[in-house]
Amino acid sequence: MRKNIAVRIRPFADPASLGTEISRRRTLSAYPVKALSAIPKQALLTVTGSGMLGVPGIAARTFAAVHHEGISVSLISQASSEHSICFSVPEEHAQRARASLLETFRHEIDGVELRAGAATLVVVGIGMAGTPGVAARVFSSLADAGINIIAIAQGSSELNLSLVVDGKDAGPAQRVVHAAFQLSKIGGGMVGHPERTDVVLLGFGQIGRTLAPLLAKAKQDSVRLRVVGVIDRSGFVFDARGLPPQRLAALGAAKAKGVPLAKQPGGERGTAADAVRFIARHAIANPILVDVTADDTAETLAAAFAAGMHVVLANKRPITGERSKYEALKAAAQARGRHLLHEATVGAGLPIIDTYYKLVDSGDRVNKIEGCPSGTLGYLFGELGRGRRFSEALRGAIKKGYPEPDPRDDLSGMDVARKALILGRLLGFPGELGDIAVESLVPKGAERLAVDEFLARLDEYDAAWARRVEAARARGRVLRYRAIVTRRRIRVGLVVVDASSPMASLNGTDNQFIFTTMRYKKNPLVITGPGAGPAVTAGGILNDVLKLAGA
């Protein structure tokens, strides 16, 4: 180091990591806090007396008495009231120091209080000088952990903030302050930005590309959102400083043309879990992972929670798998003090889950939720009712971006079943996806076809659907795809409803949810509105993100 050679410390478990660098290189403005230290086995001595106020020489005589015993003082604190002087010494010398002070002052002071078993926590960094918020971050992190601060000392240089805590709290105090400044991460040591929330997009299809510019431009009061990473099946693009709207637009345009993220400028190859673990090595502010894929991403979400990220879902699969995995995911979030929000998994932008919680939080009990929760199937049956052929209506829905990547996920009823299971688990339904009675609308034999082949043969299914529609019309009714959810049972399937029914009046991609509760028993609560499409889904996700950003 005397010859300006940097020293790097790396763990044996990960020798290729960046590790810790000790050098003359400065990154003061961005990362003011550099290190923490703790001095254990300290004792606090407090000299108190009402007659000390304004009396010259009290401090000089205090430290002269300690000096006389050859004892070093590591911390000094005095309030402007001058009613007391507090300082710390090694625990083994505390009694000698106290005896010397009592002898020196005799009847001039009220007493000398000794508090043993203390420890001094030290926060160090040259860049701390003139940087607002360092002390606030330290104090708030300790307060959140329930750790009491006994004494505080900071010189005018602002390079060292020293705090005295109970000895048993020394380890936990170091850990929470270390975590607050993210000192274990690349770019750690920053004061933090309570007004900023960093978002990582998992999935960069139609919904992801619609959502990205909304996130980049969104503001809520003083909260500002930044997209720092985007991930697809090929890999990811990440920048801890944030991806500006122009960069996101370029990434989205290339992705729309079929260029995967890994092959774009700044792209890295890797799985989604690899990407989350890589991003988690960097210091980012209040991170949120937004999953807009249609994959089983439970492993990736677990990695996100382990990295201290909140999670927002539009993807239904992670919370409609085996109940044990669903519970494990919730437990992982709770263990880290993180939130898992998933409003968009049921009604896209409609406040269905939010309504459920508001009803329950107000003391109501939801007994049943029923309705038409598929914007895609709502659009399809609306078009069939207007006389369009099945093939024409489904291709129109695909062109507008309404169905899942494989439209048979909608036609099979499984997408509705997953939404119904999410609601069922809110109500206390104990079963699995396989316990739901589901009526599939996929033509017989079509479930075995490749997606492209199925779409190419849509015209073959027009006649059968025309007969269904005509049979309903002859009775003055229309076709709808309905879910009924209770604590004991969930049913999903095709129904014929009277033209006067509220379900018959649904237009386009409208969803409808009917809540029957203790309060809304005779006249159930009905929520109706668009429930499919990238724009409305992105809006629902954005609401969840803003809710977490403002928490």
Q: Looking at residue 393, which CATH number applies to its domain?
A: 3.30.360.10
pLDDT per residue as tens digits for the range 479-526: 999 999 999 999 999 999 888 887 888 888 889 999 999 999 999 999
The single-letter DSSP state of residue 12 is T
**Which parts of 314-404 are beta strand (E)?**
340-341, 366-372
Residues 203 and 296 in one domain: yes
What pLDDT shows up at residue 404? 79
pLDDT per residue as tens digits for the range 44-87: 999 988 777 778 888 899 999 999 999 999 999 887 777 889 99
pTM, to two decimals: 0.80
Average confidence score pLDDT of the chain: 90
Share of the chain above pLDDT 90, in %: 65
Residues 224 and 292 in one domain: yes
Is 295 in contact with 315 (CB distance < 8 Å)?
A: yes
Residues 401 and 505 in one domain: yes
194: pLDDT confidence band, cut at 50, 70 and 90? low
Q: Please indicate, yes or no, if residue 144 is contained in any of the structural domains.
A: yes
Active-site residues, by number, are 419
Residues 295 and 383 in one domain: no
Residues 162 and 32 in one domain: yes
Residues 262 and 117 in one domain: no
Q: What are the structure tokens assigned to 49, written together?
A: 């007396």
Distance in angstroms (rounded) separating the CA atoms of residues 522 and 515: 11
**Which parts of 283-333 are beta strand (E)?**
288-291, 310-313
Residues 64 and 115 in one domain: yes
CA dist 222 to 215, 381, 550, Å?
14, 44, 9
Helices (H) and strands (E) in the chain, counts: 18, 22
The single-letter DSSP state of residue 296 is -
Distance in angstroms (rounded) separating the CA atoms of residues 351 and 361: 15
Residues 242 and 109 in one domain: no
Residues 155 and 247 in one domain: no
Q: Please indicate, yes or no, if residue 404 is contained in any of the structural domains.
A: yes
Whole domain around residue 319: which residue ranges? 196-342
Check pLDDT > 80 for residue 232.
yes
What pLDDT shows up at residue 175? 93
Residues 337 and 220 in one domain: yes
* Most confidently modeled range among 192-196, 327-331, 404-408: 327-331
